Structure 1
Amino acid sequence: MFAIPGTAPVTITPAAEKQIARLMTGKNAFGLRIGLKKGGCAGMEYTMELAKAPEPNEEVVEQGAARVMISPMAQMFLFGTQIDYETGLLESGFRFNNPNVTDSCGCGESIRFEPLEGSRTQDG
């Protein structure tokens, strides 16, 4: 919906591609659905769930054996995001390198975006 023709709305690193494909195979899923919900100290949080099929109006991005579905509400906020998977000594997980984020909390789990032009803010 918010894509530029010929350009994927999100990119997937090889590490994320491998992990998404592994999760899909293990749960016999169509793909990994990503979205956003209100919450956290900065205002929004990413959501992820394995899904059996895409919902209407979801953007589907395929790369190798990996498939990501972007919920309609999240598409404009995730455009240009790189999805990565990092493995560390203490924790491993998906990371969203999102150029649209204007602020995040210290733990990196919660994010904030600039208000859209013409949208009402809490002050008005």
Structure 2
Amino acid sequence: MAIALTEAAARHVSRYLSRRGKGLGVRLGVKTTGCSGLAYTLEYVDNQAPEDLIFENHGVKIIIDPKSLAYIDGTELDFVREGLNEGFKFNNPNERDRCGCGESFRV
């Protein structure tokens, strides 16, 4: 499968990278934490590792480490505005449960 960005997420990342003045794209991954076990990580990337997997949508590169791919394969990353809040939303078909606070998930 693959990792995908919506147009809204791609626009947001592109604007940020442009303002930042550098960067290859974004790194999407997971870390062990929280009540449900896993949490998403998202950071801007200036350098990629040789083992990184690269997906590209709407002209933006999404960089994934091979260990994280098993948990997030098929995920769509969206950027949403809900009232006064805005942020990235992870639409992951592998999620089986999410903790009450929304910070972690289980596959």
State whether TM-score is above 0.5.
yes
CA RMSD of aligned residues (A): 1.3
Q: How many residues align?
A: 106
For residues 83 and 13 of structure 2, the distance between their equivalents in structure 1, rounded to whole angstroms, comes to 20
Q: Give the alignment's TM-score, normalised by structure 2.
A: 0.90
Output one character per residue of 1:77-117: Cα deviation in whole Å (capped at 9) or x when no partner: 1111111110122311111100101110123220011xxxx
Q: Does structure 2 conserve the Cα–Cα contact (< 8 Å) formed by 1:21 and 1:67?
A: no
Q: 2:42 is matched by which residue type in structure 1?
A: M
Output one character per residue of 1:35-75: Cα deviation in whole Å (capped at 9) or x when no partner: 10011111110001111121121111112331110112111
Q: 2:37 is matched by which residue type in structure 1?
A: G
The runs of 4+ residues in structure 1 deviating greater than 2 Å are: none
> 2:107 aligned with 1:108, yes or no?
no
Match of 1:77 in 2: 71
Which structure 1 residue ranges, 5 or more long, are not aligned?
A: 4-8, 114-124
Structure 1 residue 21 displacement after superposition? 1.0
Match of 2:4 in 1: 11
Which structure 2 residue ranges, 5 or more long, are not aligned?
A: none
State the percentage of identical aligned residues.
35
Higher strand share: 2
Q: 1:19 is matched by which residue type in structure 2?
A: H
Q: 1:58 is matched by which residue type in structure 2?
A: D
